Amino acid sequence: MSIDTKLDPLKILMIAPEPFFQPRGTPISIFFRLKTLSELGHKVDLLTYPIGEDRAFRNVRILRTSAFPGIRAIKIGPSAAKLPLDFMLLWKTLARMTAERYDLVFSHEEAGWWGTLLARIWKIPHLYDMHSSLPQQLDNFEFTRSALIKGTFIWLERFVLKRSGAVITICADLQNIVKREGFGRKTILLENFLEFDHSDFGPADFTAVRKKYAPDGEKIALYAGNFQSYQGVGRLVEAFARLKDEPAVLLLVGEKGGKLRAMKDFVASLGISGKVKFTGQVSPEEVPLYIGASDALVSPRLSGTNTPLKIYSFLKAGKPVVATRLWTHTQVLDDRIALLTGTSAGAMAEGIRAALFTEAGPRTAAAAKDFADREYSTARYKEKLTTALGRAIESKKNDH
């Protein structure tokens, strides 16, 4: 089925059961969906949680549910705190669909459960943005051992895939899940490769960062992101302890509160406090500053299947990328464009050493940038998102 990638402006109801905006995976993805839809001329009402920062886009309204007593934050992954907020979001969805006429319902994550159903009742197209497999998340975050809950999530995921007009998947692993369920014709693979604007940063800014964190001219290896256990930051620190005699520092960008304090304590217990530096949590707009000031970029993830968002920014940066040789990375990376390592501290240490101090670093960095410039462009992102919208609309027409 061919889809016209030039669409008339649509009025879209987007449902995001997330703290928007916060600097973490799915909210960042939603940020760029909204930015692109705005640039394409569509009008969007975003229904979301009462938690997060407002971000302004032309033709986009952010409509939040009321605050729920005692809930001020939502942790990453499955959370019981989401239940009352999702219930309130469901009722807000009903209210908006009753009050206004929309051309399309665009649901993220578990909002697909009711977004799909309500779109069918109102006889309008539904587009599902599949940032993860929710049944898979129950296992990844060890949320429950209940066969009943897991079975319910599997049934709900299939319900959404079957009844959505189109499904956006953010990585090859999720696309494969949709294909195995028999709905491959609906999928559009749309990797989260857009970046926050960093045009204000220049050589002087990068030099200032280097003077602050590597005052003796050391090489800088950077990790950017949260400190959840699956990210492997503790293993990365252990790896860097093996490099304590090298002229290099490890810069950890991100995280706050208890996890940040615990990681600082762990670094101190290894006796390498002078070799590992912390920025604390920074805004997504600031991350390119630290990437630009670094000499190698590291993704030490130990588990999971979705490609980390940071990988796309890393590839575009023109810096050596070090990553674990796991499917979470290898669905995008290979040995030509990255230094892939085992998950042990020793293997990671050797990968970082090669990136910083051998010709493998600049060789893979150049190949990575060439690959990213070719495969991951803003124009390509807009084309794919428009294709997803068009496929959802075309599917609804074919129902009649």
Mind giving me the DSSP string for 287-315? HHHHHHH-SEEEE---S-SSPPTHHHHHH
Write down the pLDDT at residue 139.
74
Strands (E), 282-388: 296-299, 321-324, 339-341
Q: 197 or 97: whose pLDDT is higher? A: 97
Q: Mark 104-137 as b/e (b = at least 16 C-beta within 10 Å).
A: bbbbbbbbbbbbbbbbbeeebbbbbbbbbbbbbb
| Tokens linked to 129 | 């943005």
Residue 272, amino acid: I
Nearest of 42, 306, 40 to residue 169 by alpha carbon: 306
Strands (E), the chain: 11-16, 43-48, 60-64, 104-108, 126-130, 166-169, 187-189, 219-224, 248-253, 276-280, 296-299, 321-324, 339-341
Query: In which band, very low, low, confident or very high, does the pLDDT at 143 lie, cut at 50, 70 and 90?
Result: confident
Write down the pLDDT at residue 3.
40
d(CA 92, CA 94): 5
d(CA 278, CA 338): 24
Q: Which CATH superfamily is domain 11-193+377-399 in?
A: Glycogen Phosphorylase B; (3.40.50.2000)
Write down the pLDDT at residue 80.
85
Distance of CA 124 to the CA centre of its chain: 28
Nearest of 168, 30, 45 to residue 101 by alpha carbon: 45
Identify the residue whose tokens are 């615990």. 262
Query: In which band, very low, low, confident or very high, does the pLDDT at 140 lie, cut at 50, 70 and 90?
Result: low
Write down the pLDDT at residue 51.
96
- Cα–Cα–Cα angle for 83, 111, 40, rounded to 5 degrees: 140
pLDDT tens-digit map of 277-297: 999 999 888 999 999 999 999
- Cα–Cα–Cα angle for 13, 14, 16, rounded to 5 degrees: 150
Average pLDDT, the chain: 93
Region of poorest pLDDT, from 69-83, 164-178, 318-332: 69-83
Output the CA torsion 363→365→366→367 (10° steps): 90
Count helices and strands in the chain by DSSP H and E runs: 15, 13
Nearest of 119, 178, 55 to residue 393 by alpha carbon: 119
Where do the H-state alpha helices sit in 100-146?
111-122, 134-140
pLDDT tens-digit map of 99-115: 999 999 999 999 999 99
pLDDT tens-digit map of 171-230: 999 999 999 999 999 999 999 888 887 667 999 999 999 999 999 999 999 999 999 999
Angle between helix 345-357 and 233-241 (nearest 10): 70
Other Cβ atoms closer than 10 A to 95: 12
Q: What percent of the chain has pLDDT over 70?
A: 97
pLDDT tens-digit map of 341-379: 999 999 999 999 999 999 999 999 999 999 999 999 899
Highest mean pLDDT among 21-35, 141-155, 325-339: 325-339
Please give the average per-residue pLDDT across 305-309, as a whole number: 91
| Tokens linked to 236 | 């990365």
Please enumerate in sequence order all residues whose Cβ is within 8 A of that of 253, keeping only pairs 6 or more positions apart, or say none.
222, 223, 224, 225, 279, 282, 287, 290
Nearest of 63, 57, 50 to residue 102 by alpha carbon: 63
Write down the pLDDT at residue 213.
98
Burial grade of 61 (CB within 10 A; 0-12, 13-18, 19 or more) = exposed
Region of poorest pLDDT, from 141-150, 211-220, 221-230, 231-240: 141-150
| Tokens linked to 378 | 């803003």
Comma-separated ranges of CATH 3.40.50.2000 domains in the chain: 11-193+377-399, 203-375
d(CA 151, CA 153): 5
Nearest of 94, 63, 85, 76 to residue 17 by alpha carbon: 85
For residues 190 and 174, the answer to whether their CB atoms sit within 8 Å is no
Mind giving me the DSSP string for 231-278? G-HHHHHHHHHTTTTSSEEEEEE---HHHHHHHHHHHHHTT-TTTEEE
Please give the average per-residue pLDDT across 273-279, as a whole number: 97
Taking the whole predicted model, whether its pTM rises above 0.85 is answered as no
**CATH number of the domain located at residue range(s) 203-375 in this protein:** 3.40.50.2000
